[in-house]
Amino acid sequence: MADTVETGAENTIARPRKASWTYIGPGIVVAATGVGAGDLVATLIAGSRFGYTLMWAAVIGCVVKISLAEAAGRWHLATGRTLFDGWRSLGGWTTGYFAVYVVVWGFVYGAAAMSSSALPIVALFPDGPGLRVWAVVTGLTGLVFVWFNRYAVFEKVMTALIGIMFVVVMYVAVRVAPDLGASLAGLAPVLPDGSLLYTLGLIGGVGGTITMAAYGYWINAKGWTNSTWMKVMRLDNRVAYLTTGLFVVAMLVVGAELLHSTRTALTSGDRGLIDLGTVLEDRFGATTAKLFLVGFFATSFSSLIGVWHGVSLMFADFVERMRKGRAGGTETAGTEPAGTVEEVAAGARERSVPFRAYLLWLTFPPIALLFLDEPFGLVVAYGVLGAFFMPFLALTLIWLLNSERTPAEWRNGVLSNVMLAAAGLLFVVLCVQQVREIPW
């Protein structure tokens, strides 16, 4: 595994691995998981309202995500400690926040992910079972798949799904005949009247979820456990968010060419993609519409199994850190509990009881929400906790990566601090807006 050079009987110095395309994998997983159907609809609506004008925001958003995921991955590789282990070293408040967040968020997200995955199936097979039945089927399928497969198989399936997503989205963007001149003009920063929130959403929304925090766990599950993998991780991360950037640009093109010019409005949320399927069928025929629905399913189902795997990994680590903390007392800055990232790399977390317990939590309790109106208080709690997570991630990464918890060689430089601070500020603004929009 490691590239080493012998320097004596007792000492071995590991050489950094060369960045290679053959290693790429966790980045593809985080890209596929982070881009959900709702993100694509939001991008389409931005394109339909403002044409190509906000193309520059998509580019900035790509850079922001690269910086955040790189910071999460760098923490895991530089310290040999997982992100939750780092959070615990900042104080008990992080444990309290994460405990409430992961329980409430998982409950509501499970129902949303299952419904989103079922929507395109119902559209493809209108004479078959209804939305709720297909939603339960997709949730149970995700549960069985993640339960019985380790990271290596999971990564291959996610790569296939993002391949389908990529081909379909690019095909549709080419079919609508993008205006290259207007696309290039859209790279100049301009804020049309009424576009501020859409701009912030484009920069911070697509691919910006708890799965960015899961990225460090996925690189460990891949077998990358120390700083010799730093160059590889950075290439992997850049490929991931450049791919995400291409998705955003392609959907802006579709929104600008197919919807902006005809002043067609979409339903907000995942159902907006069903509306787009209808528009595509009217414009290009049933084959293109069905192909798009297949891409819609790949987008939604990849997010479902990505969360089922990645957030369950985080929850398993959360439980293990709590257990070891109670057994050994409070950890101080700079300590490195043995077996943290190595246990993730060995697959121990994926076989653990907490991992599988959270899988069950993501699947079965949310099924009840599919048959009931969502409880009002739960929706409010979900909205508030979800809005606060990305600022929490950005600001705690600044804290961790500028402290003695991180080896001096791998602490933040000026550029990293600027990007993470900008991301933190952006997500605070988005957080305030999301909280304001919650139906209190």
Q: How confident is the model at residue 189 (pLDDT cuts 50, 70, 90)?
A: confident
Average pLDDT for residues 97-126, to the nearest whole number? 89
3-state secondary structure of 4: strand
C-beta of residue 143 within 8 angstroms of C-beta of residue 365: no
Residue 358 pLDDT > 80? yes
Summarize pLDDT for 224-243 with one digit per residue, the tens. Answer: 999 999 999 999 998 888 88
Q: Output the pTM of the full model.
A: 0.88
The structure tokens listed for 440 are 């209190």
The Cα 310–Cα 39 span in angstroms is 19
The Cα 306–Cα 167 span in angstroms is 20
Residue 120, number of CB atoms within 10 A of its CB: 26
Summarize pLDDT for 123-138 with one digit per residue, the tens. Answer: 899 888 988 999 999 9
> What is the structure's pLDDT at 188?
86
CA angle 241–245–249, rounded 5-degree value: 170
